[in-house]
Amino acid sequence: MRIAVGAFVFAAAVGLSAQAPSPVTAIRAGRLLDPDAGRILTNQIILIEGTKIREVGPNVAIPAGAQIIDLSRMTVMPGLVDAHNHLALTYKPEPESNIYYYTYVQESTALRAIQAVSNGIQMLSSGFTIVRDMGNNGNYADTALRQGIEQGWVPGPTIINSGIIIGGMGGQFSPTPEMAKDHNIVYPEYLDADTPDEIVKAIRQNILFGAKVIKICVDCKPYGYTADEIRLVIREAAKSGMKVEGHVQTVNGARNAIDAGIWSIAHSTGLNEEMHTLMAQKGIFRAGTDTPDTLAGHPVSPQAYQYNVASLKDAYAKKVPLTFSTDADYYVVGKTRGEVCMEFLKTWKDAGIPNVDILRAMTIGGYKVSQTESTRGPIKAGYFADLIAVPGNPLDEVDALKNVQFVMKDGQVFKKDGVMTPSAFFHGGPVNGWRIR
């Protein structure tokens, strides 16, 4: 079927995939967890055709020739979401003393894109089928990762990426005048946008280069953004159907972001009880990045940890829309990126949040903040077939999630019996079409 003329190889490949019959898979789920309802159904069959779920129920007829996957001793559940990560960034004690300003000086975007593929695979192995990748990814390594996964080159979570973080001059960096002016050493980690014209242009640049959500520094510097400036960001992003996440670190910044009606707020340092109340009223998502005190080499002081726990507890009590969000962009010796993220369960448990609501934040809250809730996430007919399985019952013991034995992404098995088997995901070309941008 190969047509030798380069430009036409694409057409042939698309024709092939369109004509191939969709394989049918039947999963026998001993227990099927529905986080929305907060219950488990037993002895369910999930029928998958191609990339999507066709039918779910106790008495689903299994067509002749269907591949059968026996998870009758497992709890099957929807895939998990990390609503705030940076897959093309891994800062480390050596050589950069855990200062990511130096990571960006020493590691090319190309190298970081390769690392992002590895981090994405590690996330998927731990059951994270969606990751919101919120900037600090060099010169659009996040877009490259998303395109590589979506075109069908490599396995990985569904990526909702922000491109370059937009902020007032300097972003989160504090460069010397020489570094900023003569060597332009803030870009590409941050996109300076100080005036309304620059703000509009920066948003358009990110959208042009493949962002699916817009991320701004609300108050990384004292000059920050006013509520009116954030309204401009929201308006411009909305023209392209995109939502806005704000990095917020002060109460004043939180107030501006909430006033403007931002979609989600990253980090909790600016979120006091009043801000939580306002966020709940407006339905603004909290991507708290609730760091535990157990990550070797990344100490969180007892006071800081107590703040994280108390803040999460207050947000839960006030019914703020919660997402499981880690900001885990560093190397913890002996752990994969996915295992580091799972450590964040400790903060949620210490905040006294019931397991069912932790699970909801990791699934439903994540689908909503990612805007996939009508296409990807729930195990329902018509949705993309992303699902995982664990022994035990996460409703009773949420740490069961640390032992993901099975992962299916887009109807293809990625992990089975605790072992990654990703061969179905690798292709020599863009099997899903090079036009995916």
Q: Which is nearer to Zn ion, 132 or 415 (CB)?
A: 132
Helix (H, G, I), strand (E, B) or coil at 302: helix
Least Å distance, CB 257 to Zn ion, is: 15
Q: Looking at beta carbons, which residue is closest to Zn ion?
A: 327
Least Å distance, CB 316 to Zn ion, is: 21
What does 370-399 look like in DSSP terms, one character per residue? TT-TTTBSS--TTSB--EEEESS-TTT-GG
Q: Which is nearer to Zn ion, 229 or 327 (CB)?
A: 327
Least Å distance, CB 330 to Zn ion, is: 11
Q: Which is nearer to Zn ion, 288 or 377 (CB)?
A: 288
Helix locations, 209-335, DSSP H: 227-239, 251-260, 273-282, 302-317
Contact 271, 286 (CB under 8 A): yes
What does the binding site for Zn ion look like in residue numbers (CB under 5 A)? 327
Least Å distance, CB 290 to Zn ion, is: 13
What does 258-283 look like in DSSP terms, one character per residue? HHHT-SEEE-STT--HHHHHHHHHHT
- Measured between alpha carbons, how far is 198 from 157 in angstroms, rounded to an integer? 32
Helix (H, G, I), strand (E, B) or coil at 132: strand
Q: Which is nearer to Zn ion, 327 or 343 (CB)?
A: 327
Q: Which is nearer to Zn ion, 165 or 398 (CB)?
A: 165
Helix (H) or strand (E) holding 24: strand 24-34
Q: Which is nearer to Zn ion, 82 or 327 (CB)?
A: 327
Least Å distance, CB 326 to Zn ion, is: 9
Least Å distance, CB 190 to Zn ion, is: 12
Least Å distance, CB 132 to Zn ion, is: 10
Q: Which residues contact 66 (CB under 8 A, 6 or more apart)?
A: 24, 25, 26, 47
Q: Which is nearer to Zn ion, 75 or 136 (CB)?
A: 136
